[in-house]
């Protein structure tokens, strides 16, 4: 099989391959503003032996200036990649209306949850450094392939960053929402697993029955 970072955007995986290579997948959408709206699906690659930090790969993207069309493209991505979660603006009335229509039409379960990053007054001062830290050449952990987002990222001047309002670059915001929320999701699951293992260790040490034995 082709190396995962080299697989083109929009590649269609079998369900088994998708779950094996990317056990954690998250999608995000940023609705159109002055620029076209954008949706992404990212996956955290399975950590194999001797790997360092987990790599995140952009699996697919969609862009449209038309809200209804963007939601329809989200439906296609949802069906093809089955992300565990969608994040974005969960309170967007028109977006939610189109999602309800889509779900009824396709018997789908697409649902967008709000991210707290929407409440930031100057989001790019947080989002851009978070992405660029993963894109550093010698320690790259985010693979964008031939995404249109690369062009958007390269077009921002450093002096602009403090003055960019929310919605300035939907493509960048969608990617950042997905990547940052995916990292938080995996870190939370990892902590929960570690806590559960520590509880079992202490129970064993002090002679209490394990949780498994109580079922």
**Residue-level pLDDT at 140:** 87
Residue range 142-170, pLDDT digits in tens? 999 899 999 999 999 999 999 999 999 99
Whether residue 18 is predicted with pLDDT greater than 60 in this model: the reply is yes
Whether the CA torsion 67, 142, 168, 188 is positive or negative: it is positive
pLDDT: which is higher, 162 or 139: 162
Contact, 29 vs 80, CB < 8 A?
no
Residue range 187-206, pLDDT digits in tens? 765 554 444 444 454 455 55
State which of 5-19, 84-98, 134-148 shows the largest mean pLDDT: 84-98
Whether residue 119 is predicted with pLDDT greater than 90 in this model: the reply is yes
Residue 214 is assigned to a structural domain of this protein: no
Residue range 31-58, pLDDT digits in tens? 999 999 999 999 998 875 445 568 999 9
- Give dist(CA 199, CA 48) in Å, integer: 26
Residue 86 is assigned to a structural domain of this protein: yes
Residue 187 is assigned to a structural domain of this protein: yes
Residue 215 is assigned to a structural domain of this protein: no
Residue 23 is assigned to a structural domain of this protein: yes
Name the domain count of the chain. 1
**Residue-level pLDDT at 136:** 87
- Check which CATH number belongs to the domain holding 14 and give it: 3.30.420.280
For residue 87, list its beta bridge partners.
28, 113
- Give dist(CA 140, CA 132) in Å, integer: 9
Residue 212 is assigned to a structural domain of this protein: no
- Give dist(CA 94, CA 160) in Å, integer: 30
- Quick check: helix, strand or coil at residue 145? coil
**Residue-level pLDDT at 177:** 97
**Residue-level pLDDT at 52:** 55
Whole-model pTM?
A: 0.84
**Residue-level pLDDT at 209:** 57
**Residue-level pLDDT at 195:** 44
Residue 99 is assigned to a structural domain of this protein: yes
Percentage of residues in the chain having pLDDT higher than 70: 82
When pLDDT is averaged across residues 107-116 and rounded to a whole number, the result is 94
- Give dist(CA 161, CA 196) in Å, integer: 42
Residue range 54-94, pLDDT digits in tens? 899 999 999 999 999 999 999 999 999 999 999 999 999 99
Show the domain range for 129. 4-206
Residue 188 is assigned to a structural domain of this protein: yes
Contacts with 98 (C-beta within 8 Å, 6 or more apart), sequence order: 67, 68, 71, 72
**Residue-level pLDDT at 207:** 60
Contact, 172 vs 144, CB < 8 A?
no
């Amino acid at each position: 099989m082709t190396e995962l970072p080299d697989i083109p955007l929009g590649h269609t995986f079998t369900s088994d391959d998708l779950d094996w290579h990317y056990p954690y997948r998250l999608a995000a959408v940023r609705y159109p503003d002055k620029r076209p709206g954008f949706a992404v699906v990212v996956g955290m690659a399975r950590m194999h032996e001797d790997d360092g930090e987990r790599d995140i790969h952009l699996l697919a993207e969609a862009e449209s200036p038309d809200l209804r069309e963007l939601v329809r493209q989200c439906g296609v991505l949802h069906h093809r990649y089955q992300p565990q979660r969608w994040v974005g603006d969960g309170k967007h009335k028109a977006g939610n209306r189109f999602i309800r229509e889509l779900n009824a039409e396709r018997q789908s379960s697409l649902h967008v949850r709000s991210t707290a990053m929407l409440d930031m007054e100057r989001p790019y001062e947080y989002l851009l450094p978070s992405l660029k830290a993963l894109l550093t050449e010698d320690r790259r952990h985010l693979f964008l392939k031939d995404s249109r987002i690369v062009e958007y990222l390269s077009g921002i001047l450093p002096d602009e960053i403090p003055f960019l309002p929310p919605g300035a670059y939907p493509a960048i915001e969608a990617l950042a929402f997905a990547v940052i929320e995916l990292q938080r999701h995996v870190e939370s699951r990892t902590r929960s697993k570690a806590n559960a293992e520590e509880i079992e260790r202490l129970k064993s040490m002090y002679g209490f029955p394990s949780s498994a034995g109580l079922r």
